[in-house]
Amino acid sequence: MAEDLIRYDILAQEALRGVVRKVLSEVARTGLPGDHHFFISFVTKAPGVRMSQRLLEQYDKEMTIVLQNQFGALRVSETGFEVELSFDGRPELLAIPFSAIKGFFDPSVQFGLQFDVERVAGEDAEIEPETADEPHAAAPAKPAAAPEAQGEKVVSLDSFRKK
């Protein structure tokens, strides 16, 4: 088989991330329509992710957020989005690049997307912080299946589908 020098896989991922960007931009502008709401999974140590150290310690590999009834300050750019959510009664501002998103699911209409998040060279490479000020802004060290081996529960977006 010929080598894919065009990299259709990357182009398709970028186009589908554009769907997420468009949807979130519309929600930021007009609010959530009808029963729509979103489960968004992302790699917490992907480059550009910003979140409190408290949350990073609790979700050191991956996190799923829900945009439904209580969220605020949703701002969307070409490269990512920011949203304010409450965790244990404390407001937190999260900044999430689209490149860090692993999954996007709207259970109200059974629509979901899964993405490959870039891995560091070598699956067992150590995570190195980009700057001392942002120790959480590094690339993920393991593929999505690795947390199960470490005793963590991985939840498939398919589990949210209505039967």
Residue 143 included in any domain: yes
* Residues composing the chain: 163
Q: In this predicted model, what pLDDT tens digit does every residue of 102-135 receive, in sequence order?
A: 999 999 999 999 998 875 323 333 333 333 333 3
Residue 162 included in any domain: no
Task: Calculate the alpha carbon distances from 130 to 43, 97, 116, 134, 143 in Å.
Answer: 15, 15, 21, 7, 20
Q: Tell me the CATH number at 95.
A: 2.30.30.220
Residue 138 confidence (pLDDT) above 50: no
**Which two structure tokens, joined as six digits, stand for 145?**
């299946």
Residue 159 included in any domain: no
Q: Work out how many domains the chain is built from and give that number.
A: 1
Report the mean per-residue pLDDT for the chain.
Answer: 78
Query: Cα 76–59–138 angle (5° rounding)?
Result: 65
Q: What percent of the chain has a predicted confidence (pLDDT) above 90? A: 63
Q: In this predicted model, what pLDDT tens digit does every residue of 46-79 receive, in sequence order?
A: 999 999 999 999 999 999 999 998 899 999 999 9
CB 103 within 8 Å of CB 157: yes
Residue 161 included in any domain: no
- The beta strands (E) that lie in the chain are given as 38-43, 62-67, 72-76, 80-87, 90-97, 101-106, 111-114
pLDDT of res. 66: 95
* Selection from 61, 83, 71, 34 nearest residue 147 by Cα: 61
Residue 160 included in any domain: no
Cβ-based burial of 91 (10 A; exposed 0-12, middle 13-18, buried ≥19) = exposed
Q: What are phi and psi of 28, to 5 degrees?
A: -65, -35
Domain around 125:
8-149
Residue 38 included in any domain: yes
